[in-house]
Amino acid sequence: MKLRILEASGAAAIFVAALAMGDARAGAPAGKGEAPFIDTFDLASCRWSSRGRNDFFILEPGYQLVLEGGEGKKLSHVEITVLDQTRTLGGIETRVVEERESLGGQLIEVSRNFYALCGPSKDVYYFGEDVDTYRDGKISDHEGAWAAFSGGARAALFMPAKPAKGARYYQELAPAVAMDRVEIVGIAESVKTPAGSFEGCVMTEETTPLEPEVRDHKIYARGVGVAKEDDLLLVKYGFVGPKSP
C-alpha cells in the first residue's frame, strides 16, 4: 500500500518511506493490500534527549495525565507521570515515565517506562519498562518487563513527530515478552473527555502477535498526549510539580 509521505526527517523519514515502498525488512507478515509492521529503525543518526516533546507526546518532568473509566468497584484509574528520573540503556539516557493503574481503588500495576527523543525530528522511542503487578496489596510478579539491549530486545518507535495515517510499526521489540505494534488509523479525530474536547487527534490501533485476538485503541490529543484508551477517558492533565527548565 503506497502512503502519502509527510514532511519528516531522521528516523521518521526512513520509517515512513519504508512503508511507502513496502520495506522488506519488516518482521511481521501483512495481509493482502497491507503494509508490513516496520521493526527496523535507524537509530545511529539520532541525537538523543531524555527531555522534550513532540506534538503528541510530552516528556517533561512533572507532567501528568489522569484517565478513568467505569464506576464503583469497576472504576479504573490510571496516572501517567513523567518523573525527574532517568535510566541509561545502551549508553542512551532515557526518561522514566511511571504509570500507576488501580481498579476499584486497589492498586493493580505500577510500571516505569523508558523513553527518549530522537532529534532533530523529535520521534519518541521506547526502550523498555520495569513492571510490578499487585495482588491483594502485594507485588505478585513482574510480567511484561523488558529492556532494550538485553535478551535480544531493541528500542522501537513509540510516537513519530509527524504521524502518517496508515503507518504500521512496532512499539515494543522484546521477543516472547512484549511485541506491541500499532497502526495509525486516523490523524484528524475528535474526542470529548471530562478534561476537555480535542480536535485533530491521532488514533492508533494496538495489536500484538503474542495475543492475536486483542485490539486496543488510543487517541492522542495535540499538545496533551493520550486522551482516550478504549473506555478510559482523560479527566485531568498538566504539571503536578515545578516544571524543570
Is residue 2 a part of any domain in this protein?
A: no
- Which pLDDT value is given to residue 19? 40
- Which pLDDT value is given to residue 128? 98
Instruction: Tell me how crowded residue 71 is: count the other CB atoms within 10 A of its CB.
Output: 9
Is residue 244 a part of any domain in this protein?
A: no
Is residue 245 a part of any domain in this protein?
A: no
- Which pLDDT value is given to residue 241? 76
- Which pLDDT value is given to residue 71? 82
The tally of domains found in the chain comes to 1
Above 90 in pLDDT, residue 225?
Answer: yes
Is residue 210 a part of any domain in this protein?
A: yes
Is residue 155 a part of any domain in this protein?
A: yes
Grid coordinates representing 67 are 484517565
- In whole angstroms, give the CA distance from residue 25 to residue 69: 39
- Which one is predicted more confidently, 183 or 4? 183
Displacement of CA 54 from its chain's centroid (Å): 13
Q: How confident is the model at residue 11 (pLDDT cuts 50, 70, 90)?
A: very low
Above 50 in pLDDT, residue 132?
Answer: yes
- In whole angstroms, give the CA distance from residue 113 to residue 84: 13
The type of residue at 102 is S
CA-based Rg of the chain, rounded to a whole angstrom? 17
Mean pLDDT on 98-102 = 98
Is residue 123 a part of any domain in this protein?
A: yes
Angle at 90 between CA 88 and CA 92, to 5 degrees: 50
- In whole angstroms, give the CA distance from residue 110 to residue 178: 16
Is residue 188 a part of any domain in this protein?
A: yes
Above 50 in pLDDT, residue 168?
Answer: yes
Above 50 in pLDDT, residue 4?
Answer: no
Mean pLDDT on 133-148 = 96
The set of residues, in sequence order, having a beta carbon less than 8 Å from that of 209 and lying 6+ positions away, is 28, 179, 181
Mean pLDDT on 198-209 = 98
Q: How confident is the model at residue 32 (pLDDT cuts 50, 70, 90)?
A: low
The set of residues, in sequence order, having a beta carbon less than 8 Å from that of 21 and lying 6+ positions away, is none
Is residue 154 a part of any domain in this protein?
A: yes
Is the distance from CB of 230 to CB of 242 less than 8 angstroms? no
Structural domain range at position 90: 10-239
Q: What is the reported pTM?
A: 0.87
- Which pLDDT value is given to residue 48? 98
